[in-house]
Amino acid sequence: MKLLILAANDQIARIVEERILTEDKFKDVDLVLLLRRASRLQSLKDHYPDRVTLVDGDINNKQVVVDAAKGCDMIFSAVVDHDDAGNNRPTKNIIAVAEANKISRVIETSLLGIYDEVPGKFGKWNPDFCFGGNLEGSSPVNADQLLEDSGLDYTTLRLPWLNDRPEVKYSITHRHDTYVGVSGSRQSMDSRQSMDDVVLKIVADPTFGSRYSLGIADPDTDGLTRPVY
């Protein structure tokens, strides 16, 4: 398998990359890493020259993403589509690129609250902070709808507010479930953390989360009124 990772220097993406390159069960997975200033990941290329391809570019540039995706089997976008001004260029590019290169499996990062599924006081505070008080028409909401309408085998990962606690602890909720928790770990613990763990479940088994939206958070933070740092 060849996996294209967009925004490949993101913290979650970096741990995904490290685990794929070092864990035996992913030994047949090669990486194409697209990011601005690709030299930042040159050490990965140096250590794994046969398994890592670096691409210097912007995910808003359709042709750059099309070229990077050639020969790939799966796309993971490690950044939330907040492209209000550009009318969801990242997600539209991913869809166009997947269609052009006959890639069906797509994973895109999003955030909690896009369905107004977060309960309690936190659920009232979060839209004001993340969506300017208005979910309708926001870029993350539109991105999820674009993927659903695309016909691709996609997964939207709705991430919580992230902290740097060294732990792997999370529960998964589905699209029509009430979101459980408000925060989760992005900090590496023995080269693992809660968010990358879900991404790698999909890489290992592409049927996991197929054509669906998954919410991820530490259940111990459920019912809190503010993020846990």
Buried b (16+ CB within 10 A) or exposed e, 147-156: beebebbbbb
pLDDT, tens only, 163-187 = 888 778 899 999 989 999 999 887 6
Kindly tell me if the per-residue pLDDT of 31 is higher than 70.
Answer: yes
Longest dimension (CA), the chain: 50
Predicted confidence at residue 9, as pLDDT, reads 96
- Split at pLDDT 50, 70, 90, the class of 193 is low
How far apart, in whole angstroms, are the C-alpha atoms of residue 57 and residue 5?
12
pLDDT, tens only, 83-127 = 977 799 999 999 999 999 999 899 999 999 999 999 999 999 999
- Split at pLDDT 50, 70, 90, the class of 204 is very high
pTM comes to 0.94
Find out whether 46 and 54 touch, Cβ atoms under 8 Å: no
